[in-house]
Amino acid sequence: MPDRIDEFESVFRSADRTAYQFLPPPVRRALVLSDRPVDGAQAYEARVRAYVESGDPDTSLEWDSWHGEAPDTRQGFVDRLSSYDADLVVTHRNLHDSISDAHFGLGVYVHVLTQSTRVPVLVTPSPDAPGFDRATRELEDAVLFSDHIDGDDRLVNWAVNFVSNSGALVFANVEPLAVFERYMHAISRIPGIETEMADTHIRAELLKEAEDYIAACRQRLADVRPELTTTGVARMGEPLEVLRELLPAHNHALVVMESEDDRQIAMRGLAAAAAVEFADISMLLI
């Protein structure tokens, strides 16, 4: 009898799908941060304002700016940020870093931005970087990139806000193959479990969760944003390699990722890795 109950529970859970709620967050006030002197700061601000507004925002944005001043402490930095009451922060890599072309990461102040506040941060390449002009030309396509997208409505709704009416929103969920293979290796050493069947079913179920949620998002967006083109990718692989494949196929793609992890102070692992690997793109970190 317990086996039959387990079977019914498995069938029920398999049919249970995560719904998507379309609720784009209001973006009324945006703050531009840079460490440039006056002329450079004005040029950066003009560039990123035009970039953000090229995405056909639903409402006109009120812009503030904070340029050129390096805060003394983390708390002082966070407190001043809070005083602007911004819905979005736009800044560049290596803000206030002494090494402007450090490449390996976003820089201390950008990490504080992403981990000490709940405000989404749009990070561009440094204004001095070769990829800056291309990465801030205009908002067209957005790639929502995750290794566990199921049920993350906030991430989806922010991504929707940053796709132009003529662009495409790409849902990309990549389950790390190396992690899966490690667990399958452990399973293969447990007597009584048929490894090949476990591999097939676990692999299929992991991808099905992502595929079902992506399908629910695309179906709802087809109703409320019929002008928006959407595509979906759910696979196993090496996440950064898949992102590297996707980017050339999409116009001036903004990569949207979840950076906050409630279980730790550090930035979410996939976002941190992508930030190091892809220094010449703009990223929206949620």
What pLDDT, on the 0 to 100 scale, is given for residue 266?
A: 60
How confident is the model over 106-130, as pLDDT tens digits?
888 898 888 888 899 999 999 999 8
Q: Which of 191, 134, 157, 180 is nearest to 284 (CA)?
A: 157
Query: Is 18 contained in some domain?
Result: no
Query: Is 154 contained in some domain?
Result: yes
Residue recorded with tokens 């992508």: 274
Measured at the CA of 122, the angle between CA 21 and CA 225, to 5 degrees, comes to: 35
Q: Mean pLDDT, to the nearest integer, of 13-17?
A: 53
Cβ neighbours around 128 below 10 Å, total: 12
* For residue 11, pLDDT beyond 50: no
Q: What is the pTM of this model?
A: 0.88
How confident is the model over 36-51, as pLDDT tens digits?
999 999 999 999 999 9
What pLDDT, on the 0 to 100 scale, is given for residue 7?
A: 45
How many distinct structural domains can be found in the chain? 1
What pLDDT, on the 0 to 100 scale, is given for residue 49?
A: 95
φ and ψ at 255, to 5 degrees? -95, 125
How confident is the model over 140-171, as pLDDT tens digits?
899 999 998 988 899 999 999 998 888 899 99
Query: Is 101 contained in some domain?
Result: yes
Query: Is 43 contained in some domain?
Result: yes
Query: Is 52 contained in some domain?
Result: yes
Q: Mean pLDDT, to the nearest integer, of 60-81?
A: 89
Q: Mean pLDDT, to the nearest integer, of 246-253?
A: 83
What pLDDT, on the 0 to 100 scale, is given for residue 101?
A: 65
What pLDDT, on the 0 to 100 scale, is given for residue 12?
A: 40
Query: Is 104 contained in some domain?
Result: yes
Q: What is the CATH number of the domain that holds 56?
A: 3.40.50.12370
Mean pLDDT, the chain, rounded, equals 87
C-alpha–C-alpha distance, residues 127 and 18, integer Å: 41
pLDDT > 70 in the chain, percent: 90
* For residue 5, pLDDT beyond 50: no
Q: Which of 97, 98, 64 is nearest to 81 (CA)?
A: 64
How confident is the model over 186-211, as pLDDT tens digits?
999 998 888 888 889 999 998 999 99
Query: Is 98 contained in some domain?
Result: yes
pLDDT band at 8; cut points 50, 70, 90: very low
Cβ neighbours around 285 below 10 Å, total: 25
How confident is the model over 207-217, as pLDDT tens digits?
999 999 999 99
Query: Is 19 contained in some domain?
Result: no
Full domain range(s) for residue 90: 29-176+208-285
pLDDT band at 231; cut points 50, 70, 90: very high
CA-based end-to-end distance of the chain: 46
